[in-house]
Amino acid sequence: MSLAFVFPGQGSQAVGMGRGFYDASAAAKALYGEASEALGFDLARLCFEGPEAELQLTANTQPAILTASVAATTGLAERGVAPAIVAGHSLGEYSALVVAGSLPFADAVRVVRRRGKFMQEAVPVGTGAMAALLGLELLVVEAICRDAADGEVVSVANVNSPTQIVIAGHKTAVERAVALARERGGKKSVLLSVSAPFHSQLMRAAADRLAGELGKVRVSAPKIPVVRNVDAGLTTSAEEVVPFLIRQVASPVRWTECVQRMVREGATTFVEVGPGRVLTGLLKRIAEGARGYAVEDPESLEKVLKEVGQAV
Give the separation between CA 201 and CA 195, rounded to whole angstroms. Answer: 16
Q: Are the CB atoms for 249 and 117 separated by under 8 Å? A: no
Give the separation between CA 131 and CA 186, rounded to whole angstroms. Answer: 12
Query: Are 260 and 144 found together in one domain?
Result: no
Q: Which of 174, 194, 214 is the last residue in one of the domains?
A: 194
Q: Which of 172, 194, 216 is the last residue in one of the domains?
A: 194
Q: Is 199 labeled as catalytic in the residue annotation? A: yes
Strands (E), 140-285: 154-161, 164-170, 188-191, 226-227, 234-235, 267-273
Query: Are 12 and 117 found together in one domain?
Result: yes
**Residues of the domain holding 176:** 128-194
Query: Given phi > 0 = left and psi -120 to 50 = alpha, else beta, which region is 16?
Result: left
Give the separation between CA 219 and CA 197, rounded to whole angstroms. Answer: 28
What's the pLDDT at 148? 98
If you ran DSSP here, which 8-state letter would residue 136 be given?
A: -
What's the pLDDT at 195? 80
Query: Are 49 and 30 found together in one domain?
Result: yes
> What's the pTM?
0.96
Which one of the listed residues 25, 36, 90, 251 is annotated catalytic?
Answer: 90
Q: What's the longest Cα–Cα distance across the chain?
A: 55
Q: Are the CB atoms for 222 and 101 separated by under 8 Å? A: yes
Give the separation between CA 213 and CA 311, rounded to whole angstroms. Answer: 39
Q: What is the total count of domains within the chain?
A: 2
Query: Are 115 and 221 found together in one domain?
Result: yes
Query: Are 140 and 105 found together in one domain?
Result: no
Query: Are 231 and 90 found together in one domain?
Result: yes
Strands (E), 138-215: 154-161, 164-170, 188-191
What's the pLDDT at 111? 98
Q: Are the CB atoms for 98 and 108 separated by under 8 Å? A: yes
Query: Are 241 and 132 found together in one domain?
Result: no
Q: Are the CB atoms for 298 and 276 separated by under 8 Å? A: no
Query: Are 176 and 221 found together in one domain?
Result: no
Q: Which of 175, 194, 213 is the last residue in one of the domains?
A: 194
* CATH code for position 266: 3.40.366.10
What's the pLDDT at 310? 46
What does the chain come to in residues?
312
What's the pLDDT at 193? 84
What's the pLDDT at 309? 64
* CATH code for position 172: 3.30.70.250
Q: Is 89 labeled as catalytic in the residue annotation? A: no
Query: Are 147 and 236 found together in one domain?
Result: no
Give the separation between CA 22 and CA 48, rounded to whole angstroms. Answer: 10
Give the separation between CA 294 and CA 122, rounded to whole angstroms. Answer: 33
Query: Are 118 and 134 found together in one domain?
Result: no
Query: Are 144 and 239 found together in one domain?
Result: no
What's the pLDDT at 67? 98
Which one of the listed residues 69, 95, 102, 199 is annotated catalytic?
Answer: 199
Query: Are 168 and 216 found together in one domain?
Result: no
Q: Which residues of the chain have pLDDT under 50?
A: 310-312
